[in-house]
Amino acid sequence: MRAAVLEEHGEPLSVEDVDYPEPQPDQVIVETEACGICRSDWHAWQGDWSWIGAGVPEGQILGHEPAGVVSAVGADVETLEEGDRVAVPFHLGDGSCSHCREGRANNCETVIPLGLSEFAPGAFAEAFPVREADFNCVKLPDEVEFAEMAGLGCRFMTAYHALADRADLRPGDWVAIHGCGGVGLSAIHIAQALGAHPIAIDVLDSKLERAEELGAVETINSTEVDSAPAAVRELTGDGADVSIDALGIAETCRNSVNSLGTRGSHVQVGLTTGEEEGQIELPVDVMTMQEIDFHGSFGMPLVRYEELFNLIAQGTLEPSKIIGDTLSLEDAPETLASMDDYETVGIPVITEF
């Protein structure tokens, strides 16, 4: 089968023939119908995250935002059969630790990220295996298309968990969203759908225009103001109630914290780059005195999909709005490399394998 393989960090992915996977007893094989290309793929491709022991080895098949159809079922799998339409959230849990037993695969003690570990070849391929498939596969409702589900396995659900669960967003809240890539745009759409007032902040007008279409009530081009946090304060009076770093660099993280009013909540969604290596200085005294919360947010507990699918069925959330270009597997190397300049708008989704 065809697959896009990371042969060397920073060099274009190689689209080549590899062996079709065989299911282990706990696994299913999923034929990929759609897979998003994400900033996390770009980080892995750059060779980032060795500082948290999560560097991706050369030879890896990337791709962690898939939806597809079950094509083979391992001997111990009980709840899935050939032909089932499924999505696979990127955090593959073991299904047995205390967090998994509460439905929180995103906090699993032995989590394996799909497409970002040698133990989980990814979905930039015609097919890929899923560990502990009964636990990790999410059956798709009929009304959800494969391409829109591609974001529901990573950025869209990450944004939903960050806002609805970690920040406890309420209708009427001001939400500052720093960085309008796939997860930032998802957060804007979700924030307005939940009755909040999103403010979009980015350095590119093309992304801010998309943010406005998705419901941002205000936009700030941070290259055109002295201080993005000051601009947020001017718009909101006291500062934002919730602020998200949807990028993961020192500047957007600090801008996010500094955008908040008293008792505001910052949510860190972006993981950092080789510049920060996970370390960012923060105004701790101000955060203490103003009782500002700093939340980490990673993926989404699987038990939250039911609510997310309900909101999609009602038409409250429309994940298809975040899709950018659709492309073929052969185009994946070039699209990934083009993310160097941060100009991709929306989520690029591979739909031809």
Residues in contact with Zn ion by the rule CB under 5 A:
38, 40, 93-94, 97, 100, 108, 154
How many helices, marked H, and strands, marked E, lie in the chain? 12, 18
| Tokens 């597809």, residue located | 68
Q: Are 41 and 332 in contact (CB under 8 A)?
A: no
Q: How far is the CB of 264 from Zn ion (least distance, A)?
A: 26
Q: Smaller CB distance to Zn ion: residue 115 or 198?
A: 115
Q: Smaller CB distance to Zn ion: residue 197 or 210?
A: 210
Q: How far is the CB of 248 from Zn ion (least distance, A)?
A: 12
Q: Are 181 and 116 in contact (CB under 8 A)?
A: no
Half-sphere exposure of 85 (CA within 13 A, CB side): 12
Q: Among 144, 37, 126, which residue's Cα sits nearest to residue 86?
A: 144
Q: How far is the CB of 352 from Zn ion (least distance, A)?
A: 20
Q: How far is the CB of 236 from Zn ion (least distance, A)?
A: 30
Q: Smaller CB distance to Zn ion: residue 62 or 188?
A: 62
Q: Are 236 and 218 in contact (CB under 8 A)?
A: no
Q: How far is the CB of 88 from Zn ion (least distance, A)?
A: 12
What are the CA-CA distances from residue 210 to residues 66, 162, 323, 346, 348 (Å)?
Answer: 24, 21, 11, 8, 14
Q: Smaller CB distance to Zn ion: residue 86 or 300?
A: 300
Q: How far is the CB of 65 from Zn ion (least distance, A)?
A: 5
Q: Is residue 57 helix, strand or coil?
A: coil
Q: Smaller CB distance to Zn ion: residue 97 or 235?
A: 97
**Closest residue (Cβ) to Zn ion?**
38
How many C-beta neighbours within 10 Å does residue 89 have? 25
Q: Smaller CB distance to Zn ion: residue 108 or 242?
A: 108
Residue 310, token pair as written in the block: 């309900």
